[in-house]
Structure 1
Amino acid sequence: MKPIATLLRAGMLALIAATASASERGAVTNLPLPRYVSLKASEGNVRRGPSLSHRIDWVFKRRDMPLEITAEHGHWRRVRDRDGAGGWVHYSLLSGTRYVLIEQDMLALYQRADPATPVMARLEHGVIARLGKCGPAWCRLTSSGYKGWAPKAALWGVRLEELRE
């Protein structure tokens, strides 16, 4: 029989693990937090708090801009952009369609997830590209009619450990 201290410790570790996993899910949607989404509209008011009565701090003005949801409250989502700027946005302005920001100037889009393959296009720093499949180190992107693979480390809007089909 195990000592009571060992059983209590095991119980506390299970409780801590359950609490940690619960805090990694949104209270409203039960989706993972944080997670990436995109701005559905060409403009989105960013408010200081989760209601229309809160002051608008600024307006996001780039359709398809990737944003990271860090909290949920009713119909509101707390988001942040690549620079860490953020606030509360109504969920109707957000889309689950994934886009990324190019973090490297003149990033090569390769024909396959291999730098030895032909370059299909080069994307400037700050370009928004639609996110497709992602493996451990590469993601398939689409931008302005061009398609290709880019290193995941050169993108904002996808986690390094994230895999997508």
Structure 2
Amino acid sequence: LGYRAEVTRFRTMPRPDTTNVFTVTPAHLAMLKRLTFYHDWGDDYLGGAYISHRRPYGNSAIYGDIAELAGLPQPDWDAGEDWTDTQIQHMLGLHYDMAQVLNLAVELYPEPLTPGLYTRHHPFHPWQKQPEPPEQVLNIEPADLDAFEDEDGWLEAAYEDRFELGDWE
């Protein structure tokens, strides 16, 4: 998978501030715990905190760190193996999700962020963890998931290829 494909992947993902349905997984939480923050004084008055774009999850290659934290198998480098396109796409999805996971963790504080389905009615409304999957989500084919109706009206849902309904089984 080349650089162009990775950039294209990021350009087609919904922005975190427009997503109203999100599933937090144990892999997301492991990655969140390991995010590495720095302070850059820059040319500004006080600078600011940032996450390293080169080594966001530690001091190793990004894919290796993500695979380790998500419990994914590592290629056998000695045998000449490399990451498959599917593995890279999955890891890029998890990596992209971290913007939303970090937003959720900050917004929900002091409540702990735990694995599960989180929803909101509008980008400016608060996130709420769903205690169990909404019946409407279970009855919709993932490929057809554009929106579903909840008790209060329509809840927009941005379908992502990592949105796994099987987590609720």
Under TM normalisation by the shorter chain, which class is it? Answer: under 0.3
- TM-score, length of structure 2 as denominator length: 0.26
Determine which structure has greater relative contact order: mean sequence separation of CA pairs < 8 Å that are 6+ residues apart, divided by chain length. 2
Determine which structure has the larger strand proportion and give its number.
1
Determine which structure has the larger helix proportion and give its number.
2
